[in-house]
Amino acid sequence: MKKCLVLGGGFAGLTSAVYLSKAGFKVELLEASPKLGGRAYSLLEPVTGEIVDNGQHIFMGCYKETLKFLKVTGSLGKLEFQGSLTINFLKENNKLFQLSASKFLYPLNLLLALLNYKAITFSERLLMLKFFFKLPFNLNKDLCKMTVLEWLEKENQNENIRKAFWDFLSIGALNTNPETASAKVFSDTLKEIFLRGSKAAKIILAREGLSETYCNSAQKFIGKNGGEISLSEKAEELIVENHKIIKVKTGKREISDYDFVVSALPHYALEKIIEIKNHFKNPVLQYSSILSVHLWLKQNNLQKSFYGLIGSQIHWVFNHISYLTLVISDAERFMELSKEEIFAIAYEELNKFMGISREEITTYKVIKEKRATFIPSNNVLGSRPETETKIKNLFLAGDWIETGLPSTIESAVKSGRMAADLIINHKQ
């Protein structure tokens, strides 16, 4: 039985470990922290005793790799699938607008949903439809030279349309300001969501926390198939000789009894333990933050499972019944604020949009993820490394390698499956 050492217990590393153990490999996964999940995990809120995520994550029907993985680990039943695409938006003073796809056949259902989206004027909806009609025909060579904002302005998507629709997609999916994000990356993302059938655009929410949905099931699967997971063990150096990793040094031991190594470490962690530029592409990555605020209310009268707030500093509000989760993407401007300052902004916005007063909030928790995702600017295009490297027994995984996707859970899962597939085929 051949052995594979997986470095990193985030979604990419767990995916590689699951598929490799399923294929009959002896797998050992090393994770530097005392928990699995990387930048997407659950934790206990001590005051309320509830499990909360470090950041609310939306799955979508186009997340084929993620859904396949969750099926393998037996976690699909922990997801709640929309019957059809439905998003509730709010303007100030609780003014509700719905973007909802009907039961008509695809793509007519999505087109009618856009045409009936009354948060913008009818003429603006026609401009938005025109944009979507042109989407399959845009040239990549042109998009590679533009930011998302430049592309939208070129296609006459005015500020009102951007605030009521495009900002939720671009900032939410890319976690980056439209002035910085690549139009090419955004175009590819839109095609995955809207041009891959009706199911692709549906939103999927987890009924349980990220760790409970993803990490725990994966951990059990790996153990059931003979694998091992070592937490609180950090890889500190990769020793390379003759184009092979001959030894992995951790803070506790030296490991050399393996046939393959999968690095599922973030770029900034991997470059500390190996000279990247000598063995594969070394992109210059900058990072963007995500801010989450969990709020507990005396009484929750909200009817919908989640809302987008139009023109607010808060992008999304997720309703967990017993508490709310507020999410701000591209949140760099909030990272230096105190928790008290962030909370003050949060309840002011909730009051403005939902009529929730400070007195109704019993407690709160602020979570900052400073390096949540890399920024998908045009400078990054073509610079992300492939799964296979010049080192014969080293394969890369992680949302930052070349998956054709932005820095998302789906990208991480896809990368982990790609690494496992190459190793499995190498075995044969």
Single-letter residue type at 150: E
Q: Are 120 and 183 in the same domain?
A: yes
At 95 the pLDDT is 97
Q: Are 231 and 183 in the same domain?
A: no
Q: Are 302 and 390 in the same domain?
A: no
Please tell me the distance from the alpha carbon of residue 35 to that of residue 14, in angstroms, as a whole number: 12
Query: How large is the C-alpha radius of gyration of the chain?
Result: 22
Residue 340 lies in a domain: yes
- Indicate the SS3 state at residue 336: coil
Q: Are 96 and 143 in the same domain?
A: yes
Question: CA angle, corner 56, sides to 397 and 402, nearest 5?
Answer: 20
Q: Tell me the mean pLDDT per 10 residues along the chain, length 428.
A: 96 98 97 93 91 86 96 95 93 96 86 95 97 94 96 98 96 94 97 91 91 94 97 97 96 96 97 94 96 96 95 96 95 96 97 96 95 95 96 97 95 98 82
Q: Are 277 and 354 in the same domain?
A: no
Residue 277 lies in a domain: yes
Phi, psi of 388 (to 5 degrees): -85, 140
Q: Are 370 and 383 in the same domain?
A: no
Quote the crossing angle between the two packed helices 11-22 and 64-72, to the nearest 10°.
50
Q: Are 276 and 300 in the same domain?
A: no
Beta bridge partner(s), residue 368: 291
**Count of CB atoms situated within 10 Å of the CB of 144:** 15
**Count of CB atoms situated within 10 Å of the CB of 279:** 18
pTM for this one? 0.95
Q: Pull the structure tokens for residue 244.
A: 């092979």
At 105 the pLDDT is 86
Residue 51 lies in a domain: no
Q: Check which CATH number belongs to the domain holding 127 and give it.
A: 1.10.405
Beta bridge partner(s), residue 411: none
Number of domains the chain contains: 3
**Which residues make Cβ contacts (< 8 Å) with residue 184, sequence separation at least 6?**
140, 143, 144, 146, 378, 381
Please tell me the distance from the alpha carbon of residue 414 to that of residue 80, in angstroms, as a whole number: 21
Quote the crossing angle between the two packed helices 11-22 and 409-427, to the nearest 10°.
30
Q: Is residue 134 within 8 Å of 142, Cβ to Cβ?
A: no
Phi, psi of 226 (to 5 degrees): 85, 5
Q: Which single residue is written with the structure tokens 């973007």? A: 99
Q: Are 100 and 197 in the same domain?
A: yes
Domain boundary, last residue among 157, 182, 201: 201
At 29 the pLDDT is 98
Q: Check which CATH number belongs to the domain holding 335 and give it.
A: 3.90.660.10
Closest CA to 260 of 248, 250, 252: 248
Please tell me the distance from the alpha carbon of residue 183 to that of residue 67, in angstroms, as a whole number: 27
Q: Is residue 143 within 8 Å of 183, Cβ to Cβ?
A: yes
Q: Are 342 and 310 in the same domain?
A: yes
Residue 221 lies in a domain: yes
Alpha-helical segments (H) within 23-157: 64-72, 108-115, 122-134, 140-143, 148-154
Single-letter residue type at 258: Y
Q: Which helix (H) or strand (E) holds 330?
A: none
Q: Are 255 and 404 in the same domain?
A: yes
Please tell me the distance from the alpha carbon of residue 299 to that of residue 276, in angstroms, as a whole number: 53
Q: Pull the structure tokens for residue 361.
A: 């909030």
**Count of CB atoms situated within 10 Å of the CB of 143:** 21
Q: Check which CATH number belongs to the domain holding 416 and give it.
A: 3.50.50.60
Range of the domain at 119: 83-201
Residue 130 lies in a domain: yes
At 428 the pLDDT is 45
Q: Is residue 291 within 8 Å of 342, Cβ to Cβ?
A: yes
Quote the crossing angle between the two packed helices 64-72 and 409-427, to the nearest 10°.
60
Q: Are 310 and 262 in the same domain?
A: no
Complete DSSP assignment for 250-297: ESS-EE---SEEEE---HHHHTTTS-GGGTS------EEEEEEEEEEE
- Indicate the SS3 state at residue 159: helix
